[in-house]
Amino acid sequence: MLLNCKPDEQLTDEEQILYASPNCCGKHLLEAQPDFKAQRTAIQEVVEDSGHIFELYPKFHCECNFIERFWGTAKRRARVECDYKFMGLLSRVPMILDSIPIAMIRKFARKSWRYIDAYALGYKGLDAQAVVKTYKSHRRIGMND
């Protein structure tokens, strides 16, 4: 028997248990099917079918993605070097992106991995930031005992 879903705040305790099953509505019934769970997104299919790795980073954790640091550096340089005209921006942005040295990009990647290591060890928020800041080893983050 399929039931109709209600928003969680309108459910009683008994209803929450009942609606937690995959049979509460058509949406949840489809979500529970193995072929729907295994379905890749369209962009994931295109990227992986062309031989590349498709990896999603956690939402709202830009410190885990080195591209964010790369873009931040590029935007900072663009603000300093730009004449604030559209044509100037079009000509400068590719040069600015190419001017960031690969060594700096690798530093961004290492710092992102330090954050990932800190989160994997159970640190959260400011604790993770403090652990990354006091990073001592070139192989792993230190443990605060």
The model's confidence at residue 18, banded by pLDDT at 50, 70 and 90, is low
2: its two tokens = 């399929």
pTM value is 0.56
Q: Is 18 helix (H, G, I), strand (E, B) or coil?
A: helix
Q: Is 33 helix (H, G, I), strand (E, B) or coil?
A: coil
38: its two tokens = 């295994």
- Say what the pLDDT of residue 1 is: 45
- Say what the pLDDT of residue 60 is: 73
Contacts of 77 (CB under 8 A, 6+ apart): 96, 99, 100
**CA pair distance 117, 92, nearest whole angstrom:** 36
Residues above pLDDT 90, as percent of the chain = 26
Delimit the domains of the chain by residue range.
Answer: 8-39, 62-133
**CA pair distance 145, 129, nearest whole angstrom:** 16
pLDDT of residue 145 exceeding 50, the answer is no
For 54-74, write each residue's pLDDT tens digit: 887 777 778 888 889 999 999
- Say what the pLDDT of residue 14 is: 66
For 98-139, write each residue's pLDDT tens digit: 999 999 999 999 999 888 888 888 898 889 888 888 766 666
